[in-house]
Amino acid sequence: MEKLVIEGNHQLRGEVQISGAKNAVLPIMAAALLVAGETKINRVPDLRDTRTMAKLLEVIGVQIQFADGKMMIDATSIDKPIAPYDLVNKMRASFYVLGPLVARFGKAIVSLPGGCAWGPRPVDYHLKGLEKLGAKIELEGGDIIAKSKKLIGNKIRFDFPSVGATGNIIMAATLAKGETKIENAAKEPEIVQLCEFLVSMGAKIDGIGTTDIIVEGVNELLPCEVSVIPDRIEAGTFLIAGAALGKITLKNTIPEHLSVVIEKLTEVGAEVVIDKNDITVKRAKKINAVDVTTAVFPGFATDLQAQWIALMSIATGSSIVTDTIYNDRFSHVPELNRLGANITVEGNSAIVRGVKGLVGAKVRSTDIRASASLILAGLMAKGVTEVNHIHHIDRGYEKIENKFAQLGAKIKRISVDD
Ligand code: EPU
């Protein structure tokens, strides 16, 4: 096990390179299952989650090479369309292989993800969608067994624009017979990139980036090459850090993916300057308390909610941070309170009463974004903060301590005995 030890209250200054997006590369890797041949992916972040997905694809029979941010996936000969419990249990995004496997092989056995640290997180939309395309779905021994000789296009309406279900059904529909219309689809940038990647493989998709997506099935797709978009959540995390702690220039971003965060940071009092793909953020002299309600894209991302609460914990005044995507995603709150924050949770809102300053303590991270929130809080706190259970942060942030250290943070990774 490892922990991060942070000596807080130091200014941050300099440039940081933003990595490729975790939530874009994972569905792209799954989509490589749709095609016999070599898919080349550039700007792949070296994360626990990308490695878990690579391991899963290898279990299925895929050949993978991964070095220096380049991944080659050869799914020509796949012999075992199975996603086992131990991998799905580590990473729910493993469920992305379901649609591609059923579409290409007519069968998939994928372990049903359980609940997670912040709620049940069901996959019913994925399953209902595949059933609409004609797949027969059964649950046996905790595994979903999906079968279909040939998927047939249909009209599918999601009750909520789920990112994962939209991606899964689009991938399945690319090889279905006829037209699939998805209403109330997700339009997150990661889904847009997945669609564009599928189109470059020969898929026919209309309405990309809107809530109504039409996929006209084709007989086969061709292998191609793609570069992963920059991670807007990693970028948002560094923007929030800069707003509290100094002057940071983020290199390689897509500013349009961050419009709401930038708007909110300006309200907070930070100065934000965009120059093509770079964004510079300068700390707010006084951090104003600003309410946030998470929403689907282009709204404020739930994946930045925990980091926002960390910033608000030292604001002047009180703010309300509401999560409408996940009702119970507040496991970071008791840990932030250990650092002296004054936050209470009521329903799906956190009431954050700003305090003058945080004071370092030992804390424990419970998921990827909670870890990011605790690191930010540790950087803002006086004294030493130890963030334990940091395997979570490695799932979604590439070398986060090195990136912060380059900006002047006093942060070290240390091995600990269990
Ligand atoms: N939902 C259902 N049924 C379903 C699917 C979703 O009820 O079949 C509900 C969920 O419980 C949730 C809402 O719909 O309340 C949205 O879930 P969604 O399916 O959109 O989330 P996801 O695809 O499981 C992705 C990201 C998450 C991110 C959410 C929301 C990946 C690999 N994961 O999850 O990222 O929070 O979209 O934007 O893309 C993270 O990176 O830390 C992370 C959790």
Residues 34-75 pLDDT 10s = 999 999 999 999 999 999 999 999 999 999 999 999 999 999
- The order of strands in the sheet holding 225-227 is 63-67, 70-74, 38-42, 225-227
Mean pLDDT (whole number) for 380-385? 98
Q: Binning pLDDT at 50, 70 and 90, where does residue 418 land? A: low
Is-contact 352 321, C-beta < 8 A?
Answer: yes
| pLDDT at residue 114 is higher than 90 | no
- What spacing in Å lies between the alpha carbon of 71 and ligand 1's midpoint? 25
Of 67-81, 108-122, 306-320, the range with the lowest mean pLDDT is: 108-122
Looking at ligand 1, which residue's alpha carbon is closest to its atom 35? Answer: 303
To test the ligand 1 pocket, which listed residue (52, 121, 211) has its Cβ within 8 A of the most ligand atoms?
Answer: 121
Q: Tens digits of per-residue pLDDT, 283-308? A: 999 999 999 999 999 999 999 999 99
Query: 243 in helix, strand or coil?
Result: helix
Tokens of 103: 């579409």
Q: Cβ–Cβ contacts within 10 Å for residue 354, how many?
A: 19
Pocket test for ligand 1, best of 96, 160, 300, 330 (most atoms within 8 A of CB): 160
Amino acid code (one letter) for 53: M
Please tell me the distance from the alpha carbon of residue 319 to that of residue 366, in angstroms, as a whole number: 23
Average predicted confidence (pLDDT) for the chain: 96
Tracing tokens 């059923």 back to the chain, one arrives at 102
Measure 326 CA to ligand 1 centroid, in angstroms.
Answer: 8
Cα angle: 271, vertex 274, 277; to 5 degrees: 145
Output the pLDDT for position 416.
87
For the cut 80, the answer to whether the pLDDT of residue 117 exceeds it is no
- Options 72, 116, 137, 355, the catalytic residue: 116
Ligand 1, atom 18: nearest CA belongs to which residue?
162
Q: Is 224 a catalytic residue?
A: no
**DSSP 8-class letter at 411:** E
Mean pLDDT for 103-125 is 85
Locate 268 and state its tokens. Answer: 């907070």
Q: How far is the CA of 163 from the centre of ligand 1 (A)?
A: 6
Residue count of the chain, please give it: 418
Domains of the chain, each with CATH number or no CATH:
2-19+230-415 (3.65.10.10), 22-227 (3.65.10.10)
Q: What is the pTM of this model?
A: 0.98
CA distances from 371 to 72, 160, 279, 280, 395 (A): 30, 27, 23, 24, 10
Give the span between the Cα atoms of 411 and 6, in whole angstroms: 4
Q: How far is the CA of 302 from the centre of ligand 1 (A)?
A: 9
**pLDDT score at 417:** 76
For the record, the structure tokens of 344 come out as 């209470």
DSSP state of 133: T
Which two three-digit tokens encode residue 370? 């909670």
CA of 161 to the centre of ligand 1 (A): 9
Rounded-to-integer distance, Cα 335 and Cα 328, Å? 15
* pLDDT confidence tier of residue 376, bands split at 50, 70 and 90: very high
Taking 90 as the threshold, does the pLDDT of residue 124 lie above it? yes
Query: Per the structure block, which two tokens stand in for 136?
Result: 């027969």
- Cα end-to-end distance, the chain, whole Å: 6
- With bands split at pLDDT 50, 70 and 90, how would you rate the model's confidence at 1? confident
Take residue 363 and report the two structure tokens written for it: 């804390």
Most ligand 1 atoms within 8 A of CB, residue of 325, 368, 400 to mutate: 325
For residue 368, which atom of ligand 1 is closest to its CA?
Answer: 42
The ligand 1 atom at the shortest distance from the C-alpha of residue 297 is: 38
Ligand 1: nearest atom to the Cα of 93: 32
Ligand 1 center to residue 151 CA distance, Å?
Answer: 24
**Who lines ligand 1 at CB under 6 A?**
22-23, 26, 92-93, 121-126, 160, 162-165, 190, 302-303, 325-326, 368-369, 396
